[in-house]
Amino acid sequence: MVKMVDNNGYYSDFEAKKWICEIGRRVYNKNFVAANDGNITVKCGPNTIWATPTGVSKGFMTPDMMVKMDLQGNVISGKHKPSSEVKMHLRVYNENPEVKAVVHAHPPVATSYAIAGISLEKPVTAEAVVLLGTVPIAPYATPGTQEVPDSIAPFCKNYNAVLLANHGALTWGRDIIEAYFRMESLEHYALMLMYSNNIINKVNELNCNQIDTLMGLREKLGIKTGGVPPCKDETTNPLKGKNELQAKEELIETIVRKVTEKVLENMKR
């Protein structure tokens, strides 16, 4: 059996190309990309990656189509040209040496948030907080230009994903499965936010204590990145933890009592 990664955590050439094709089919079948959209890379050495070719649908790739490159962007082997958007993949690897795989796609709901200029940071589910974290939005950059890698550079070390304004999304991970699952989680998170914010019109966010507990769980899982979602301290709400009607009645009684005491005090003078 061929090992997926070697002792240093890098993919063999065979496994890298095989997994890129598998993930390509998954993002295509999930409707995260259309036509020839998206690109995927996997690190196979300290200074080398395998990348998807330009002009090929991610759902119909074969291992012989892959392009081997160094982290400076030079092609080492392969009969196809790499996507011009490989520049942002290279920037992630150079900014964050722990990353072993990068996935770029255009998942519809997450990309809609990117188009609207809205980052994803509301703490609505434990899974999103622990496995994904907050997702910032990088400023618009013309696809294929140096502007794109420059726009994402500030987010590569401390986050697990980034939205690309008016473009799509980028995720990365310690292996290709983690990078892909983060893309799935990103779209799922965006979908839940869309439903709760705009269809149900009600969102119960996790409070600060709950998020602190989840941060501890994230640390135990060995996840060091993702950012911390903003939260509301549950102690700021005097009605928290009580039946709302009962709490309101108690508050009214307290106000009436204090007003009455003040009136009686003034009458005695």
Residues tagged active-site: 85
Q: How far apart are the first and last CA of the chain?
A: 95
**3-class DSSP assignment, residue 105:** strand
- Identify each DSSP E strand in the chain by its residue range: 39-45, 48-51, 67-70, 75-77, 101-105, 137-138, 161-164, 168-173
Could you tell me which of 93, 41, 104, 89 has the C-alpha nearest to residue 68? 41
- CA–CA dist 248, 164 (Å, integer): 45
Residues counted in the chain: 269
**CB 51 within 8 Å of CB 60:** no
- CA–CA dist 249, 267 (Å, integer): 27
The distance of Cα 31 from the centroid of its chain, to the nearest Å, equals 17
- Contacts (Cβ under 8 Å, ≥6 apart) of 231: 123, 205, 206, 207, 208, 210, 211
**Tokens 């008016």 sit on residue:** 166
- Contacts (Cβ under 8 Å, ≥6 apart) of 155: 136, 138, 162
